[in-house]
Amino acid sequence: MANSPTPDVPSPSEAPAPVALTRERLRSGEIRALLHEHEPTIKTLSDEELAASQAAMFPGTGKPEGDVWLFGYGSLIWNPAIEFAEQRCATVRGLHRRFCLRTELGRGTPDQPGLVLGLDRGGVCRGVAFRIPREHAETELEIVWRREMVTHAYRPRWLKAQTDQGPIDVLGFVINRSGERYCGQLPEDEAAETIARTCGFLGPCCEYLFNTVSHLRDLGMPDAGLERLAGKVAAKQAAAKLGQGADGGLDVPRRSA
């Protein structure tokens, strides 16, 4: 029987230097410009559409009238890129974290799309709630919208969250199930294969997974499903390196500095 192909994992010398996702790059529109540079046909929301979407979350004035809690369940946990006054571990019920969104840009390419997380129906999700003071909320949320709502991949929603200090209302970004890049519940091996080998201008897809896993561990709320997936990704990468004549280990890498 022929051997199965191993994941195509570029060496550090082959992979281009990733672009850091910063508040400055989001606010200036540089990230949106990079999306168009890498995929000219991508449909992104205009500044006017982003502003209208944000205002719709605050009926009446269209602006926050108090502090706003933002719920992070993926990269927002380890790279919030916003200014905030407080953070709490928070639990949202009725939704769960899943690699259910294909990305042809940030963590993948049109030829080899990667995967990123979304909040999908059912279950429970433990993440981090960030409190943005009222006086900064409108400005900071503009940065969030330029990050999460650059396309129609997500839908903003107010969610009920439980924290050790009591219940709070949080703003979260739920997967748009009618979006063309929504891929639902992929077989775990297929997801691991994709995450192990794909890379985009923001960096390797596996880095996104490993950072999320290690930060959730550090916060004392490990995600069993992501831990299992990370183990499979690490194993596939190790097997690929061995197939190329290099040594490989099975440890899940810790987060980036």
What residues are paired with 208 via a beta bridge?
Answer: none
In degrees and rounded to multiples of 5, residue 91 shows phi and psi of -120, 130
Residue 104 among the catalytic residues: no
- DSSP H helical ranges for the chain: 23-28, 30-38, 47-55, 75-78, 134-148, 188-197, 205-218, 224-243
Beta strands in 110-165 (DSSP E): 114-132, 154-163
Which of 148, 188, 190, 193 is flagged as catalytic?
148
In this structure, what DSSP letter does residue 107 have? T
**Tokens 């409108």 correspond to what residue?**
138
Contact criterion met (CB below 8 Å) for 78 and 211? yes
Residue 49, number of CB atoms within 10 A of its CB:
13
Q: What share of the chain is helix, strand, coil (3-state, %, to 5)?
A: 35, 25, 40
Q: At what angle do helices 224-243 and 205-218 cross, to 10 degrees?
A: 140
In degrees and rounded to multiples of 5, residue 153 shows phi and psi of -70, -30
Catalytic residue numbers read 148
